[in-house]
Amino acid sequence: MTHDFVDINVSYGNWPFQSFALNSLEALTDHLKVSGISHAFASHLGSVFDPDTEQFNRMLVQDCSSISNCFPVPTVNPAVPGWREQLEALLEIADIKALKAYPSYHNVNLSSKEMDEVARFASESNLQLMIVVRLEDARTRYHGLGVTGVPTAQMIEFCQTHTSINPVFLNAYLPEIREISSSVSNVYFDTSFAAWFFVMETLRDSVGLSRILFGSHSPFLTTGASLDKVRLARLSELEKTIVLRQNASELFGL
């Protein structure tokens, strides 16, 4: 199949619990392009733990500006005062198509008034809202980091409450994807943490590929292995294209 894939789940920067060989955005996107990924949605890891998200969001916008088809996905931390004004300023200088929230890392409940404000802002600004369920598998996470995945019940309630937006849940496990999609339809998921025998076939039959977007979660996960999950699946070429390119192109207007 042709190499023109869209990766909606890419991060770069320093991570305190793991050393990445590809820790600059330029090096990472060069690697992605060699792998056949022509478009990437990237976020800066510095905004996960540092309360000053604005400096990393601006760094992200600057880094993406010199790389073709690399779209910045700034972090929204509703616990930071002035987050709305900071993001509005970014929207004036960059082609931003999505925002990313890290509820577990920023100690924010999806059912909170703060996340209601985030959802409202995303809707009013015509932005997709990406919600990170987790960044690392619980089996490999640093033992001193007591961060757990976003509860499935919260994700379902969030979708039911905010029917005007279609959140994209990143790094959800297969059972979570199946449970959420059986309760709500205004939702998307990426492929990164969906793992099991014949996982893509399972997603097709139980969820529907129209809700599934390719996400490699590079550099946390191996890009080639993430791609092979789709490329080697027992899907038609059209079905693979739907996941690897078409769904993201339609959702983000590429």
Q: Is 227 helix (H, G, I), strand (E, B) or coil?
A: helix
Output the pLDDT for position 144: 67
Q: Is 99 helix (H, G, I), strand (E, B) or coil?
A: strand
Length of the chain measured in residues: 254
Say whether pTM exceeds 0.85.
yes
101-120 residue pLDDT tens: 999 999 999 999 999 999 99
> Per-residue pLDDT for 138 more than 80?
no
Residue ranges making up the domain that contains 13: 5-252
Say if residues 191 and 229 touch (Cβ distance below 8 Å): yes
CATH number at residue 213: 3.20.20.140
> Per-residue pLDDT for 145 more than 80?
no
CA distance 39 to 69: 5
Alpha-carbon radius of gyration of the chain: 17
Residues ≥6 apart with Cβ < 8 Å to 62: none
What average pLDDT does range 122-148 have in this prediction?
87
Q: Predicted confidence band at 1 (pLDDT cuts at 50, 70, 90)?
A: low
What Cα–Cα distance (Å) separates residue 138 from each residue in 172, 173, 233?
A: 12, 11, 26
What Cα–Cα distance (Å) separates residue 45 from each residue in 56, 84, 104, 113, 235?
A: 8, 20, 14, 25, 33
Within 10 angstroms of residue 182's Cβ, the number of other Cβ atoms is 11
Q: How many domains does one find in the chain? A: 1
41-70 residue pLDDT tens: 999 999 999 989 999 999 999 999 999 999
Say if residues 54 and 21 touch (Cβ distance below 8 Å): no
Place of tokens 């769904």: 247
CA distance 6 to 244: 6
